[in-house]
Chains A and B, each alone.
Chain A
Amino acid sequence: MATAVVADTGERENYLNAGHGPKSWLLTVDHKRIALLYLISITFFFFVGGFFALLIRLELLTPAGDLVQSDTYNKLFTMHGQVMVFFFLVPAVPAVLGNFLIPLMIGAKDLAFPRINLLSWYLFIIGGLLMIFTILSGGVDTGWTFYTPLSTEFLKTNVVSAAIGIFFAGFSSILTGLNFIVTIHRMRAPGMTWNRLPLFVWAHYATSIIQVLGTPVVAIALVLVVLERLFHLGIFNPLLGGDPLLFQHLFWFYSHPAVYIMILPGMGIISEIVCCFSRKRIFGYKAMALAVLGIAVIGFLVWAHHMFVAGISVYAALIFSLLSYLVAVPSAIKVFNWTATIYKGSVTYQTPMLYAFGFVGLFTIGGLTGLFLASLGVDVHVHDTYFIIAHFHYIMVGGMVMAYLGGMHFWWPKISGRMYPEGWGKLAALIVFIGFNLTFFPQFILGYMGMPRRYHSYPPEFQILNVLSTAGATILAVGYLLPMVYFMWSMRYGKPAPPNPWNAAGLEWQTHSPPPTFNFDEEPVVTWEAYNYDEMGEIPEKPEKEEVPVAH
């Protein structure tokens, strides 16, 4: 089968050069282009959220609240949280890597609903514009959790535009999840049975279930907050007979499963990377697939562990504590299985694998501290302190962001057709690891000592740990800037990538780098199991392409 060729230059046609100009991008239905549209948007929001984080850490260098005013500080941590959660963490892996890779991995030409895919991006952009409007017109200071009656009755800031912006981002997320579920069910190539699916796909399937079933509940919670603000209803206002805790239940019913939306895709990435760079099939494929499904299901049953001291009954607290331990089990299984995969493997240490190691280590710490929080006696003390902040940043930043970066490096050759500079990649990974731990480990100590979260000023005995944390944050910022720079550099000066620079298993590596618009020259027919590394060779010493592409 002849490969398509671009008429003018004689270059092989791929999704990047098939059509130029803004219309071909803004009206695209190609999942790969949409993935890049998302990549640009979420990277932008990552740096917005990161900028707020830097300001927070700068303020916290000194005990006094002397860098910004109290109201400004409250806006900083609120918007850091909202932007990072809803406009970076939730969409990042699914909408960028998931969008790009799922059709390739299952041998399809596109997702089931390409136009809905584009609609998802536009909804995300609308939500993002509302968020930017919120930021520029004075900000919002509800905390990312929007607790009532503070958010409904007492704040004069842009609560409504923030809530609506998040509503749109949520709707975008729902449609992405819907698209993935239908795609995985209906669009698999001949021979690609459920048991042969890469774990990246399984992880996104589980994530999509959570996105579809969980997000609508926070959507309605935010709608009710908006209605309450606009029309002074009393649904959450005790003076009018409402119950503030009802909001918390509705909010956390989504926002706990949301953390699994954030981490499961990252786990999928790690499975792919660990297998490739140990040259081994995953240890316990079935257990790994069942584990992501188990996390998704049980994850819906634990929400009130965010409310142990909110005023729920002792018995409710006991039930949610027990269930929270249950959800830890499948996560632990995954860590053990990744470790076991490396056993008797043939391990190399390219950048993606360094991020994978980082992920396993830091996710372990983050997950173990979750066990502290599930224990009622300890949670009463550390709830709403820096211990919680450290816990969730270990999972979301030490876990999820590292997985995201690992995945971006692993699939960068496929996405861009270029290799990133390996030396810089390793350096950045190391800087991120060091910066991250320096930033967040001291916060565990601060939390147990009693430093509350969302505090603009604090008692002087907490200062030295805060200084360490801020120092770490500046290092971490450097670590994040580096990939931005060298990825962009590589698009022009990076070495051209062959179809399979890592000699990795998986259908996405069976097509060109970058792939043609319709993904495969011929529809694949799958006759092999997933992770068939016994049939693959070694990782090439030099992963770049041998032949020189036609100059243009």
Chain B
Amino acid sequence: MFGHLPLWPENASTNAGSVDALYIFLLLVSGIMTVLIFAVLTAFAVRFRKRRGQRAVQIEGSTHLEITWSIIPFCVMLVFFVWGAVIFFQERTPPQDATEVYTVAKQWMWKFEHKGGQREINELHVPVGRDVKMIMTSQDVIHSFFVPAFRLKQDVVPGRYTTLWFRATKAGTYHLFCSQYCGTQHSGMVGWVTVMEPRDYEAWMSGGAGNQPLAVTGEKLFTELGCVTCHRSDTQGRGPNLVGVFGKPVLLEDGRTVIADENYVRESILEPAAKIVRGFKPVMPTFQGQLSDEQLNALVEYVKSLAGPQSGRPANASGVAVATPQP
């Protein structure tokens, strides 16, 4: 227990350094402020202790001082705000061609599925130096995907996708925690993120026996469930042609335009009446309750694959426009 007193988490992502820098700055400023206040309080308490014959001097106040010690701290706080906001914006803007991994959280385990069909439970293998984007949903209650070494977390919510992206910088094994209380085994819902050198990662990816790529699974479902009868690749279908749709704006019947991201595709399967594409009738049946989250992920991945390799993938699952990400 006493052999090694750890005081700082490991630094294993491009993001971690930025967060640490801001944290250290905050520590410095707060430390100085704390020492200052403690010192002044102590000095005053000693210097102005009660002495025989000396009375307190009544001081009404000073508007100048009040303004000064309001504005200066607020300006310093604005630095904290802007710095933190910049980091946050980078964290919420995944790069365009990040490797995507689907995550389904459930009480009390993490299920990961890579595009190539590799499945993992409570362990996530990723390569060093490559952008990875987690597309996450929960099967039951709210969980949260937290990797301290990356300084990142994101709540995983039932009924929608949330995303988190990172680029790992150091091979190694890092804690994965669920950080949103989710019931009995909340503290048991932990795992490991294993970051591997690219060669080791390729070896691991091809090691599994006959994994079916996620998009292929999705294509099979697309046929089995009858989607293909309406969503034809010609103009005769009762539903929109899905080729090239993903990541692009979609004009809806009510005049709105939305980006066809993961959440849009998911919603279209579970609540088709929510957004009707212009020129089509609201005839699609709902598949709510008929599909597992894994099957939904496969279908989403299939629709994505129809968009071609370098389509305009959206920045994040909530439809925010793409920005050029900073590494």
Task: Tell whether, in the assembled complex, residue B88 and residue A154 are in contact, meaning their CB atoms are under 8 Å apart.
Answer: no
Task: Tell whether, in the assembled complex, residue B19 and residue A378 are in contact, meaning their CB atoms are under 8 Å apart.
Answer: yes
One of A28-36, A91-99, A212-220, A451-459 contacting the partner: A451-459
Task: Tell whether, in the assembled complex, residue A464 and residue B2 are in contact, meaning their CB atoms are under 8 Å apart.
Answer: yes
Task: Tell whether, in the assembled complex, residue A457 and residue B44 are in contact, meaning their CB atoms are under 8 Å apart.
Answer: no
Known: A311-B162, A344-B59, A347-B45. A381 touches B151 (CB 8 A): yes
Q: 8 Å CB contacts to A: which residues of B184-221? A: 184-188
Binary flags per residue of A267-307, CB closer than 8 Å to B gives 1, else 0? 00000000000111101111100000000000000000000
Q: 8 Å CB contacts to A: which residues of B62-81? A: 62, 65-66, 69-70, 73-74, 77-78, 80-81
Known: A244-B157, A346-B54. A281 touches B187 (CB 8 A): no
Q: Is the interface of A mostly helix, strand, loop or mixed?
A: helix
Binary flags per residue of B22-64, CB closer than 8 Å to A gives 1, else 0? 1100100010011001101100110011110011111111100
B152 at the interface (CB under 8 A from A): yes
One of A317-325, A402-410, A543-551 contacting the partner: A317-325
Q: How far is the CB of B173 from chain A (nearest CB, A)?
A: 12
Query: Which chain B residues border A326 with CB–CB below 8 Å?
Result: 74
Q: Is the interface of B mostly helix, strand, loop or mixed?
A: mixed
Q: 8 Å CB contacts to B: which residues of A211-253? A: 238-239, 241, 243-245
Query: Which chain B residues border A461 with CB–CB below 8 Å?
Result: 4, 6
Task: Tell whether, in the assembled complex, residue B49 and residue A311 are in contact, meaning their CB atoms are under 8 Å apart.
Answer: no
Residue on B with the closest CB to A315? B320
B181 at the interface (CB under 8 A from A): yes
Q: Pick from B86, B140, B179 the residue with the most CB of A within 10 Å.
A: B179
Q: Pick from B78, B152, B184, B185 the residue with the most CB of A within 10 Å.
A: B184
Task: Tell whether, in the assembled complex, residue A380 and residue B91 are in contact, meaning their CB atoms are under 8 Å apart.
Answer: yes
Q: How far is the CA of A378 from the CA of B80 in the complex (A)?
A: 10
A314 at the interface (CB under 8 A from B): yes
Query: Which chain A residues border B56 with CB–CB below 8 Å?
Result: 278-280, 344-346, 533-534
The number of chain A residues with a CB under 8 A from chain B is: 98
Task: Tell whether, in the assembled complex, residue B50 and residue A318 are in contact, meaning their CB atoms are under 8 Å apart.
Answer: no
Query: Which chain A residues border B5 with CB–CB below 8 Å?
Result: 464
Query: Which chain A residues border B129 with CB–CB below 8 Å?
Result: none
A41 at the interface (CB under 8 A from B): no
Residue on B with the closest CB to A384? B179
One of A176-184, A368-376, A415-423 contacting the partner: A368-376
Task: Tell whether, in the assembled complex, residue B83 and residue A375 are in contact, meaning their CB atoms are under 8 Å apart.
Answer: yes
A448 at the interface (CB under 8 A from B): yes
Q: How far is the CA of A360 from the CA of B289 in the complex (A)?
A: 55
Query: Which chain B residues border A143 with CB–CB below 8 Å?
Result: 181
Task: Tell whether, in the assembled complex, residue A309 and residue B157 are in contact, meaning their CB atoms are under 8 Å apart.
Answer: no
Query: Which chain A residues border B231 with CB–CB below 8 Å?
Result: none
Residue on A with the closest CB to B88? A376
Q: How far is the CA of A85 from the CA of B149 in the complex (A)?
A: 33
Q: How far is the CA of A286 from the CA of B107 in the complex (A)?
A: 53
Residues of A within 8 A of B (CB): 65, 70-71, 74, 141, 143, 145, 147, 149-150, 153-155, 238-239, 241, 243-245, 278-281, 283-287, 308-311, 313-314, 317-318, 321-322, 325-326, 328-329, 332-333, 335-337, 339-340, 342-349, 357, 360-361, 364-365, 368-369, 371-372, 374-381, 383-385, 445, 448-450, 452-461, 463-464, 467, 533-534, 538-539
